[in-house]
């Protein structure tokens, strides 16, 4: 991941109120324009005009258009994942909440979610989303391992699997290959499929049962037109 993205949180904490307000205007303008036009049609000039800042200011802050998109994609995703952690806590509760939170955020602004989906794939290293998943999904897996619910040696790898499956599932939805009504169930099924090889005891049985129920429910969902 770009070190400048890693430092973004520290930079935000040292901003003056005026600088923070300017960042919020840039973020709001980026979200609005991405939702309306998609990433390919946008330029730094258009974003600067919408945000009421000089174009050189955007380059001074972000360095490039791709990095501006990456910062905003990471922030939006991280807020959602933090919400799942706040609601579910450590352990399996996090994985129960994550699909619901991701689906909720997706349908909160569908056009924006469609615009961000390819950015998360095409600029994955720049966005650094696997680091966010390793922090939250990794923490949940460590708690589950300590409770004897899973046997996982390489938590970083499993966390990356979770990241890849969540992002890929939403990208498939963005491309129209998953119906709106099926998105959350697809995300839940992906979580079950990732955790099942590592699950022990009652959790393994619970995940198998849930996977069967989700598969049956998805078979009854209408396919996208």
Residues 145 and 52 in one domain: no
- Per-state percent for the chain, helix, strand, coil, to nearest 5: 80, 0, 20
- For residue 12, the model assigns a pLDDT of 54
Domain with residue 38: its CATH number is: 1.10.10.60
- Whole-angstrom Cα distance, residue 220 to residue 131? 36
pTM of structure: 0.86
Q: Does 121 map to a domain?
A: yes
**Alpha carbon of 183 to those of 53, 77, 94: distances in Å?**
38, 17, 18
CA angle 204, 167, 42 (to 5 degrees): 170
Residues 81 and 182 in one domain: yes
Residues 156 and 79 in one domain: yes
Q: Which of 66, 101, 119 is the last residue of a domain?
A: 66
Q: Is the dihedral of CA 138, 142, 148, 153 positive or negative?
A: positive
Containing H/E element for 212?
helix 201-219
Q: Does 170 map to a domain?
A: yes
**Got the DSSP string for 90-110?**
STHHHHHHHHHHHHHHHHHSH
Residues 58 and 145 in one domain: no
- For residue 119, the model assigns a pLDDT of 84
User: Based on C-alpha coordinates, what's the Rg of the chain?
Assistant: 19
Q: Does 224 map to a domain?
A: no
- For residue 106, the model assigns a pLDDT of 95
Residues 217, 192: contact at Cβ < 8 Å? no
Q: Does 225 map to a domain?
A: no
Residues 90 and 192 in one domain: yes
Spell out the per-residue pLDDT of the chain, length 225, in tens: 444 444 444 455 577 888 889 889 998 998 889 888 877 778 899 999 999 999 999 999 989 888 898 888 888 899 999 999 999 998 999 999 999 999 999 999 999 899 888 888 887 778 888 999 999 999 999 999 999 999 999 999 999 999 999 999 999 999 999 999 999 999 999 999 999 999 999 999 999 999 999 999 999 887 776
Residues 48 and 81 in one domain: no
Q: Which residues pair with 199 in a beta bridge?
A: 150
Phi first, then psi, for residue 149 (nearest 5°) are: -85, -25
What spatial distance separates the first Cα and last Cα of the chain, rounded to whole Å?
Answer: 37
For residue 44, the enclosing domain spans 3-66
Residues 26 and 91 in one domain: no
Residues 112 and 52 in one domain: no
Q: Into how many domains does the chain fold? A: 2
């Amino acid at each position: 991941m770009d070190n400048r993205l890693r430092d973004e949180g520290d930079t935000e904490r040292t901003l003056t109120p005026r600088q923070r307000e300017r960042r919020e205007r840039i973020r709001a303008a980026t979200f609005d324009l991405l939702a309306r036009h998609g990433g390919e049609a946008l330029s730094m000039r258009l974003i600067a005009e919408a945000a009421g800042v000089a174009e050189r200011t955007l380059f001074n802050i972000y360095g490039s258009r791709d990095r501006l998109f990456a910062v905003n994609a990471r922030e939006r995703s991280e807020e959602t994942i933090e919400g799942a952690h706040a609601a579910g806590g450590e352990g399996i509760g996090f994985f129960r909440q994550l699909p619901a939170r991701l689906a909720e955020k997706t349908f909160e602004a569908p056009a924006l979610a469609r615009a961000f989906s390819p950015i998360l794939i095409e600029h994955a290293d720049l966005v650094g989303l696997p680091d966010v998943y390793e922090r939250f999904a990794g923490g949940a897996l460590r708690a589950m391992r300590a409770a004897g619910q899973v046997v996982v040696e390489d938590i970083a790898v499993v966390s990356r699997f979770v990241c890849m499956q969540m992002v890929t599932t939403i990208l498939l939805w963005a491309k129209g290959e998953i119906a709106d009504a099926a998105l959350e169930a697809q995300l839940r099924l992906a979580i079950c499929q990732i955790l099942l090889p590592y699950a022990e005891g009652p959790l393994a049985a619970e995940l198998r049962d849930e996977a069967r129920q989700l598969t049956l429910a998805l078979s009854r969902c209408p396919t996208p037109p």
